[in-house]
Structure 1
Amino acid sequence: MVDVRGADEELTIREYGVVCGLRAGRPVFVVEGDPLVPPVAPVGLASRVTVTSVDRLAGAIASR
């Protein structure tokens, strides 16, 4: 799953799908919505998600 975020640490209602994905054992990647604003993992999920950039995630997918 991919969660597009900004610098806010609070989990929003639109991200409840991410919580469901984590509960189902799916990997979750947090990427930036704005290239000038680094993404931040939601409070409580930081140890369960991977924070990366759109470019790095796309590169990893393309290399598969």
Structure 2
Amino acid sequence: MSIQRINNLSNRIAANIQTRKLPLKSKQKGASGLEYAVLVAAIVVVLGTAVFAFGDQITTLFEGIDLTGG
């Protein structure tokens, strides 16, 4: 899946969540399991996109760290 398709999908999910309207007298007390699943999926998409886009730079950053203390 390309970065453009991932970004498009995440934008569509965000727009859907923002335009979703609940009834005025909602008896909903908290987030449902589905809402948590959507949140986790969005976080995974964002992290996956970041790692895909900046993976080489992250690798170079950690390779330059000297853990021996010398």
Higher RCO, Cα 8 Å, sep 6+: 2
Greater C-alpha Rg: 2
Identify whether the pair has TM-score above 0.5, normalized to the shorter chain.
no
Q: TM-score range by the shorter chain?
A: under 0.3
